[in-house]
Structure 1
Amino acid sequence: MTDDADQLTVYSDHVCPFCYLGRRSLETYEGTRDDPLDVEWHPFDLRSGKRGPDGEIDHTVDDGKDEAYYEQARQNVERLQEEYGVEDMLNLDDVPDTDSLPAQIASHYVDETYPDAWRTFDDAVLEALWIDGRDIGDPDVLADVAEAVELDGTETLHGDEIRDVATDADRRDRITDLFTAAQRGGVTGVPTFVSGEHAARGAVPPAQLERLVEGVNGPTDQ
């Protein structure tokens, strides 16, 4: 990040539909700016409490969310799709039920190792799930996604590299530590956008992101 640029920290999980919609809202806001926005991404593992020892997701674990909650969430997703003009997003019933931890591990690795390629890679992971309906919990899918990401106009990310990283136990532990740190810092859900001392949670509209980052018409704490 550069010291004189506007900065935004985003906590997100690839399997959250509101994170995908929030990314699209962020893209719209960025398109209105004269200067680039420095975005710092932090993983947030929504399904950590449902993950079994072999990585399987057990949806029978009680997370305090009932059918009424999920129906309301579905309606909110459909409303925001229309509001933000996101016509290419799959119906929620058509999105594969997957564990995003391998994708978060791979994305964090790319952010550290090839920071200039991170946004392109992470956008591609989101699109693989929410537009193409691919299983981003599969290291082979992540490797395939990586092969399409250019590093300097001539080279691409190496699929074998990303495949190996996605299953690396040490990096898995690092993601878990980052998730725990986010919780201790007061992040309770995603997406959460943080700028300075203020935060906005949810797939908020571009105008609200503008107020959050630029301080237009006051803060936007939620």
Structure 2
Amino acid sequence: MTANDKPVLRVTVFSDYICPFCYLGWLRLEKLRGDYDLRINWCMTEIHADNPPEGCPPTDTGYTPAQWGRMVTDLDVFAAEDGVRFGGLDYTTNSHRALLLAEAAKEEGSEAFYAVHRRLFEMYLCEGRNLADKQLLRELVGSLGLNPSLPDRAWNEPRYERKLQEYALAARELGVSATPTFFFGPQPLLGLQTLDTLRLAARASLVAATTESLDTPP
């Protein structure tokens, strides 16, 4: 089945690169491409804007050591289901520059965006590298063979900051209280979802769209 033969599935996702649940949620969402022409609207969402760029322990963000330990244990189980091994969960950092870079990368095309998108997740969550490090992000762009001006454009041109502000406002208006949050229609799916749940949501959204088209008066 070619992309042209598949039904178009539009999904909006609120996501941050320092959120391990977001990485797993994306990997599961990608599995829908076998059945759908998947169009994802990525809303870059900064979940810990107060984190210092040099990084800090996760307990500085409100978790107790016991809570964080339990969450990491659960995450390792979830990650194993998706063939992922986390290696950067002993500290957290500020994701603002990474989010701006990803937003700017959208203008370079889908292939470029998803290359940046994947590596941002991998570098922090699997390799334990600091996404606030400007030099690291420049090296990422270079390693992917992208336009070397991309980082400076992302960090200096106001339109990307405005997009992040628009996403933050939309998140508040839509009641987004966790990342990832998926919208297959008007109702949100908050947090990491199973693949079965994502498939059900996809089918339901297409049924709803078909029903709406049938109800449209001539």
The TM-score, its normalising length taken from structure 1, stands at 0.76
Instruction: Kindly provide the CA deviation profile for residues 61-96 of structure 1, in whole angstroms up to 9, marking residues without a partner as x.
Output: 98654344323322221120122232x332522xx5
State the alpha-carbon separation in 1 of the partners of residues 12 and 105 from structure 2: 17
Q: Larger helix proportion, structure 1 or 2?
A: 2
Aligned 1:36-75 pairs, distance under 5 A:
36-48=37-49, 50-51=50-51, 65-75=63-73
How many residues align? The count is 200
CA distance in 1, matches of 2:76, 2:161: 33
CA distance in structure 2 between the aligned counterparts of 1:27 and 1:41, rounded to whole angstroms: 13
| 2-structure distance, mates of 1:101, 1:203 | 22
AA partner of residue 123 (structure 1): R
Structure 2 runs not aligned, ≥5 long:
209-218
CA distance in 2, matches of 1:145, 1:98: 17
Taking structure 2 as the reference length, the TM-score comes to 0.77
**1:202 alignment counterpart:** 191
CA RMSD in angstroms, aligned pairs only:
3.0
- Structure 2: how far apart are the matches of 1:124 and 1:60? 22
Where does structure 1 lack aligned partners over 5 or more consecutive residues? 150-155
SS at structure 2 position matched to 1:46: coil
CA shift at 1:176, angstroms? Answer: 3.1
1:22, 1:204 within 8 Å by CA — same for their partners in 2?
A: yes
Quote the sequence identity (%). Answer: 23
Q: Aligned residue for 2:82?
A: 84
State the 1:135 CA deviation.
1.7
Provide, for residues 40-78 of structure 1, a one-character-per-residue CA deviation record: whole Å limited to 9, x for no partner.
100111112x247xx666779986543443233222211
Structure ID, larger Rg: 2
The aligned runs of 1:93-112 (5 Å cut-off) are 93=90, 97-111=92-106
- In structure 2, the CA distance between the partners of 1:78 and 1:187, relative to structure 1 (3 Å rule), is same
Query: Equivalent residue for 2:23?
Result: 20
Alignment of 1:5-16 (within 5 A): 5-16=8-19
| Structure 1 residue 133, shift from structure 2 partner | 2.5
